[in-house]
Amino acid sequence: MAEIVDARGLSCPEPVLLTLETIKKLGKGEIEILIDTDTSRENVSRAAQSMGWQIVEVQQEEAWYKVKISKD
Amino acid sequence: MEGFKNFLATRGGIIFVGLVIGVLAPVLQNLGNPPNMGICVACMERDIAGSLGLHRAAVVQYMRPEILGFVLGAFLSALAFKEYRPRGGSAPFIRFILGVFAMIGALVFLGCPWRTLLRLAGGDGNAIFGLLGLIFGIWVGTRFLKAGYSLGRTQTTPSKAAGLAFPLLMLGFLILLFIDPQPEGEGRGMLLFYSLKGPGAQHAPLFISLVVGLLIGVLAQRSRFCTMGAFRDLLLFKQGHLFSGVAAFFIAALITNLILGQFHPGFEKQPIAHTMQLWNFLGMTLAGLAFTLAGGCPGRQLFMSGEGDADAAVFASGMIVGAGIAHNFGLASSPAGIGPNGAVATIIGLIVCVIIGLTMRRR
């Protein structure tokens, strides 16, 4: 079961901060990050990749994105 | 179009945007904008406040087309790339207060982060203290962010039209500028105030300023160019993505100034600058902290307001009102030094920002 980070509506850089906190807490596994701007989608993806995590899927919902990242 | 979109969000893209802005700003100076002020979001918003009569400092009154172009360019870009998304409601009045104090801090130093770098690129050594203050203010802001600082979530507004308000206000100002130009040798049109001398009387031709503003609005909206975020991300995450754009901006401005003969190194008699280094430092500490707590530099706030972000529009409005307060109550500096009440206003601003940083928390 993937950990969920709901960063919708939060200002820069909070989505990245929350993502990195969860990455540090888990060390590996799967995280689903919910964000609602393209800027946050880019920032979160960049931050996850810099920590060695992979972008598994970016899914566009009604008014937000779900970015799924993972690390084995 | 997708390729263009993706390119500008890459490392190469943001460096390209930084280079373009870094060339255009000194060129605007060459075409008439004030020295080391090709683009200064704070100074230009202050001039807009003057043109509207929110303050009556006679030397800084002009409806700067660059600012109007920033918002309208970002708005058109957001529409074209389907990123226009009206939103708001994340502690708007706190953001207004942050905007007011960001402007007061910037006017104690005499420049926003954009002009800090342009002043350095023009050889103004006093800007070193401003830059150090800016970085320190951002560092303080990152401590609050690490401790859980948050202004809460925005909401998508029920009506798509809600995000039009700020771009339409800028369009209205632009129409006003076209129909109410400065009468020859006079300081007032039908409505707008103008300067007869000083920085407010120095400007590139309207059409060129507007086109440059629109272009930068589009490029910065696509690339998320942010002068505060550049240092914040380095300090907070050790990420240099935004910083590479700002570094490119500085290097391009420096080279362009050298080519145009606009590089004059020194501390004394620098244009629209003073040598009271403690207040250069603390003024930008206040501005840097306020920008960090609000989530973007003054340029970025304009670009986000073009995307429909009402909270960013409230911050920008706070900056314009802050300029009125700063000039009406003797808080703004001049080349002679800080204003009579500039020091106390800076200290009050720092206290207010620290209280905001300590009390607005996610957990």
Q: What pLDDT score was predicted for residue A2?
A: 87
B289-338: per-residue pLDDT in tens? 999 999 999 999 999 999 999 999 999 999 999 999 999 999 999 999 99
Q: Which pTM value belongs to this model?
A: 0.96
Only one residue has tokens 């920032």, namely A43
Q: Is A32 helix (H, G, I), strand (E, B) or coil?
A: strand
> How confident is the model at residue B1, as a pLDDT?
43
- How high is the pLDDT of residue B286? 98
Q: Quickly state the pLDDT bin for B363 (edges 50, 70, 90).
A: low
Q: Which residue matches tokens 């960001």?
A: B102
Name the residue facing B153 among A9, A12, A50 (closest C-beta): A9
Q: At what angle do helices B113-121 and B277-294 cross, to 10 degrees?
A: 140
> What is the pLDDT confidence band of residue B171, given thresholds at 50, 70 and 90?
very high
Can you read off the two tokens belonging to residue B164? Answer: 């039009």
How many angstroms separate the CA atoms of B219 and B303, rounded? 10
Tell whether A20 is within 8 A of chain B (Cβ).
Answer: yes
Counting every residue, how long is chain A? 72
For range A3-19, the mean pLDDT: 95
Q: What share of chain B is helix, strand, coil (3-state, %, to 5)?
A: 65, 5, 30
**Residues of chain A with C-beta less than 8 angstroms from the C-beta of B232:** 13
Q: Which candidate, B329, B324, B334, places its Cα nearest to that of B49?
A: B324
The answer to whether residue B73 scores a pLDDT higher than 90 is yes
Cβ contact, residue pair A16, B150, below 8 Å:
no
Give the model confidence (pLDDT) of B130-168 as tens digits. Answer: 999 999 999 999 999 999 999 999 999 989 999 999 999
User: Residue A47 and residue B151: Cβ atoms within 8 Å?
Assistant: no
Residue B107 to residue B274: CA distance in whole angstroms: 11
Contact B9 A42 (CB under 8 A): yes
- The answer to whether the Cβ–Cβ distance between B229 and A12 falls below 8 Å is yes
pLDDT on residue B175: 98
The whole-angstrom separation of Cα B19 and Cα A23 is 34
- Fill in the amino acid letter for B195: S
- Residue A10 CB partners (closer than 8 Å, separation 6+): A18, A40, B150, B153, B154
> Chain B contact for A60, CB < 8 A?
no
Contact check, Cβ <8 Å, B150/A47: no
Report the gap between the CA of B260 and the closest CA in chain A (Å). 36
Name the 3-class secondary structure at B65. helix
Closest-CA residue of B relative to A19 is B237
